[in-house]
Structure 1
């Protein structure tokens, strides 16, 4: 199955309702004719796997499942992420960019442009165009792509930055569940070596009473494997003396040293001191805290004053901008402080961190993400550093958990939550479930996957897990997304929605349909002109909107973008909408529906319901299709208000 056909099937499975060919074409940025051909191919494939695609006149395509068991088996086999060492030919631009980065990182000598073009079956000009994006990405790691007329292409950068990039672009970017037996590209290690290193790490973190999330453990394992292999290939990290002297004073240095000494004894690989310091960096950049499972008061008393003061400063900043009233939430203060302690180490050493839940966080928790943006800006100003979307997403996890906690009105009712992504996402799941189901669930606690076998199931009726669990357990397992979707909530027994009170923010005069714009700048300039004509904005509005885009793209997926000023700029709160004849590129995503969000200066309004409405719109492809087809402002707003 091609990548495009795979994505079409995913869209049909996720939707559950008819999806138009034009919508699918917009998402993949191909013609409707191409989609029709893809659908024909899919139809042929699915007929022998328990399903078919039904074409409904005037509505689009809908997946019809005939044999549920047969189709589920097919989905499990073909809709799972490809193996890390998969040799599938890249076809989409982003796939080619990823492929080029991998080739360049692993190359032991210069690579010719024609060689890359032949490998991907594309033209030289296509490769040259893809390399522009490659250069942009590598620049984030301080790695330069050098080209010489005779020799070809090669990379220039520090060994540490090379390793950060290898961890991001060569290791499996989809599988967040740590495994010692997975096949890893470029590593020449045997399964016995990998298993031995994995067990060494587990043993040492247990001896040292260190608590790591599954993802943190997975990342630490990956980086030690990279170091192990690169040392064997005679590539070593280097550090300034001041950095090295500071790291060897850390408690984590001794933990790293213990891990390395055990590996050295078993496999006779010599890790220099600077390599031990490199592993220390990764321990510092994970969630390390002895009392993480203690009471809020116990953990609070263990925090250093600077971190605590920074968190209270961030929450004051958020309350000033968004009026979420979270400043006295002690659990949130502790959670953010625990997150910031290792995060600050990542900021200082320019360590990359990837957030696999970023798209879901932006789509399902737009208000929490916006609060994360506000916190990120404050952190940047305080530490004179750059905070990227991934880090903002992790801050938003904790804020989202606090927002869910604030909705709780009843005592929770028996389940165990398994989450691989750490305390923030586990707490988000915890409070989301409490808020939605109340007394119907009694949540006994949360745990990581690798600790599951240690649990006592005597008082547990069900496990709700964000990762696949293949173990034979004495209780049923419900697998859900970390960011719970409507389907997940129905699976756990229904979904309770609230009718948003946002009609006061909607105006027919601020709905602009079927516009011909082709760039983000044109759209935002148009909004500025229209709002200025209505005396709704002052000078500097457009600059503030563009400043917000520079922090993190406001394209949330499913063809929707929600731009807004970095700080409130208007005298009243309102929404303005624009639909486009054709999708435009908005950051990394195609966008065809733009909602300009304007919040009143010094507003004390509770905007959470408005953000929830926008979040629900983003989640509903069918609704987006209908909004894009709307011919009148009145019809557009009626569709929106009924979502």
Structure 2
């Protein structure tokens, strides 16, 4: 309900709000806001408030009776929550229903949800569709009401997903029945540790939820059908003894009798959660051969060294082999960090997408984004090892100072923090011959270096601040230690000819916008032919629309002619609502030799999208020059 949102906005605002600002934040038209304000003004006198318009400034909320206003706001909040009841909320309530047959009338369900029967009936189709995704069925009987039915295993697995959220209705129901859900998790953890089994934390959370769901359903008298699946039964057979012991421990600890399905169901849940240390599959040699060919081709095209990294090859081969075994059992790992990793490590993620695509024959199908991210972690680890090797290669660092004494000593300490394993020495501007005798790998100089040398010389100003040191440290980590890399900022890549503001008149959707931006980069000579298709191919794997409308599209394979960042800024609310909202788009175009820049750009844009107020500041830019200035001014925050 927009009226409720508008009142909250006005109550929290320190300054008057313009109608345009309210419309932008709510992503609606100004006319819609005007209509809402008209209704709010009419309701004001009866509820202890009034809305005043200050000429040239905006609208302010004036509260005359705080008690009446708070009651009215509470009513609006309740209506807002009732109108937004989800199919997931209803599904949880039906699963956790405390009746032996599981039926609940529409009115009872509406009362529990704090909404109307009409809202419940309107959500039934969505509820039925959601239940089907979990292998469950929504039953509707005129005399008895509504019930979700299916196998006990699927009911518990469904409820376990909802129990992972601490604020869900099923979590509150479980807390009311069990008192201490953490005790359930401890019993599960003790059982796993006692058996010497390894489980990733996301899978452990679901396993603990499955155990809690087992207790909750049993306490409420809910029993499902027994599910007989020979393949799943075979996978679960090795966990039957452990499952039986765990079920007995849960029953004793909470004083709840568990039925005969509980043991087999728990064994099934264990088989899906436990990391299997099975022998490598028989076609491991073919897998290794394909992996070697992929790395050699990639190294030849990008000048990298993946094929020569034996640690990477060994660990990734083991990971892919176990992944083949898991996916054959239809067990897929998940991770809550996938989206963040995708933003901050785009190059590793793109490479992993390509690798998993080529490995589909071995994997038996397409890998999920979470599984691809886990593969990408191995590639990112290789990149980190390479960066550490580069850092260690700088054994001797010379710093030429304009003065001596305390200033020289301070500069040496600063550079030792960047090159902790190097021999860092400072020289006066008169000791340039001594610098050459020291034979450094790198020279930083505050004054013009008079002697010709092949040693890289990077000029710095007098005293270095934290921003300067951070830039040098970042350049060291990316292996891009040349004067232009240290002195330039990534925002210099934003080019005037590829900057646009769009109002939606000629852009239908996000993919059309990507096509237009990619085509402009190609036509202006920044990208090679086919760049746009590679951007859209990457988009087809997972969306590059991220937090607060910040989008970072990029090609799945780097093929720029010149480094550039194209930018499009959309009017507030354009191209859909959150989470698919588009506010500002940074399309990355880099040459193969500039791939290390991906990390620097991604790091800053990730910090930007975490701060919506900075996103809005950036979106006020009317030109590429203004945007570069704004972003450069935020550098202390974005490069933190």
Tell me, yes or no, whether TM beats 0.5. Answer: yes
Provide the rounded CA distance (Å) in 2 between the counterparts of 1:339 and 1:238.
31
Number of the residue aligned with 1:357 = 337
Verify: 1:614 aligned to 2:608, yes or no: no
| Distance (Å, rounded) in 2 between the aligned partners of 1:597 and 1:132 | 42
Superimposed CA distance per residue, residues 484-507 of structure 1 (whole angstroms, 9 cap, x where no aligned partner): xxxxxx9xx999544577578643
- State the shift of 1:592 in Å: 0.6
CA apart distance, 1:596: 2.7
**Alignment RMSD, CA only?**
5.6
Q: How has the CA–CA distance of structure 1 residues 95 and 385 changed in structure 2, closer, same or farther, with 3 Å as cutoff?
A: farther
Query: Following superposition of structure 1 onto structure 2, how do residues 350-499 of structure 1 map, counting pairs within 5 Å?
Result: 350=330, 354-378=334-358, 380=360, 382-408=362-388, 497-498=474-475, 499=486
Q: Is the 8 A contact 2:544 2:553 kept in 1?
A: yes
- The equivalent of 2:264 in structure 1 is 276
Residues 147 and 286 of structure 1, relative CA distance in 2, 3 Å threshold:
same
Contact 1:372/1:396 (<8 A) preserved: yes
Asked if 1 retains the 8 angstrom alpha-carbon contact of 2:312 and 2:378, the reply is yes
Q: 1:225 aligns with which of 194, 212, 233?
A: 212
Alignment of 1:245-284 (within 5 A): 245-248=234-237, 250=238, 252-260=239-247, 262-263=249-250, 269=257, 272=260, 275-276=263-264, 278-284=266-272
Residues 555-594 of structure 1: pairs in structure 2 closer than 5 A: 555-567=545-557, 574-583=564-573, 584-585=575-576, 588-594=579-585
Structure 1, residues 166-192: CA drift from partner, whole Å, max 9, x if none? 2222332689xxxxxx96534775448
Higher Rg of the two aligned structures: 2
> Which shifted more, 402-411 or 618-627?
402-411
Measure how far apart 1:221 and its partner are: 2.0
The structural deviation recorded for 1:630 is 1.4
Q: Is the 8 A contact 1:111 1:152 kept in 2?
A: yes
The Cα offsets for residues 276-303 of structure 1, whole Å up to 9 and x where unpaired, read as 365344344344559xxxxxxxxxxx86
Q: CA deviation at 1:104?
A: 5.1
**Does structure 1 retain, via aligned residues, the 8 Å contact 2:243–2:263?**
no
3-state secondary structure, aligned to 2:571? strand
1:548-606, Cα deviation, whole Å (9 max, x unpaired)? 33422211213211224445677666432211012333783322111233466xxx424
Distance 2:270 2:628 in 1: 49
Q: How many Å separate the matches in 1 of 2:510 and 2:126?
A: 18
Rounded to whole Å, the distance in 1 between the matches of 2:305 and 2:225 is 49
Q: CA contact under 8 A between 1:553 and 1:586: conserved in structure 2?
A: no
Question: Does residue 627 in structure 1 map to residue 605 in structure 2?
Answer: no
Q: Is 1:307–1:340's contact at 8 Å kept on the other side of the alignment?
A: no
Question: In the alignment, is the contact (CA less than 8 A) between 1:227 and 1:275 conserved in 2?
Answer: no
1:527 aligns with 2:517: yes
Which deviates the most, 629-638 or 256-265? 256-265
Larger helix share, 1 or 2: 2
The answer to whether the 8 A contact 1:363-1:619 is kept is no
Please point out which of 579, 587, 593 is paired with 1:596: 587
How far apart are 1:92 and its partner, in Å?
Answer: 11
Alignment of 1:325-336 (within 5 A): 325-333=305-313, 336=316
Aligned match of 1:172: 165
Q: Structure 2: which 5+ runs fail to align?
A: 38-55, 58-76, 393-416, 422-465, 476-485, 636-640
Whole-angstrom distance in 1 between the partners of 2:82 and 2:494 = 38
**Residue aligning to 1:242:** 231
Q: State the partner residue of 1:163.
A: 156
Task: State the match for 2:405 in structure 1.
Answer: none
Structure 2 Cα separation of the partners of residues 439 and 236 of structure 1? 64
Q: Deviations over 1:297-347 (max 9, x none)?
A: xxxxx8666568757856865785695644444554555566556655664
SS in structure 1 opposite 2:227? coil
Structure 1 position 389, deviation (Å):
3.3
Q: Deviations over 1:456-508 (max 9, x none)?
A: xxxxxxxxxxxxxxxxxxxxxxxxxxxxxxxxxx9xx9995445775786432
Structural mapping, 1:143-158, within 5 Å: none
Query: Is the 8 Å Cα contact of residues 85 and 113 (structure 2) preserved in structure 1?
Result: no
Which 5+ residue runs of structure 1 have no aligned equivalent? 13-19, 38-56, 59-86, 176-181, 291-301, 412-435, 441-489
How many Å apart are 1:544 and its aligned residue?
Answer: 5.4
Distance 1:125 1:331 in 2: 57
- Cross-structure match for 1:424: none
Give how far 1:538 is off: 8.8
Distance change in 2, residues 1:246/1:184 (3 Å): same
CA distance 1:95–1:382, change in 2 (3 Å):
farther
Q: For residues 146 and 318 of structure 1, do their structure 2 counterparts lie closer, same or farther at Cα, with a shift above 3 Å needed?
A: farther
Compute the displacement of 1:641 (Å).
6.5
Give the Cα–Cα distance (whole angstroms) in 2 for the partners of residues 4 and 307 of structure 1: 58
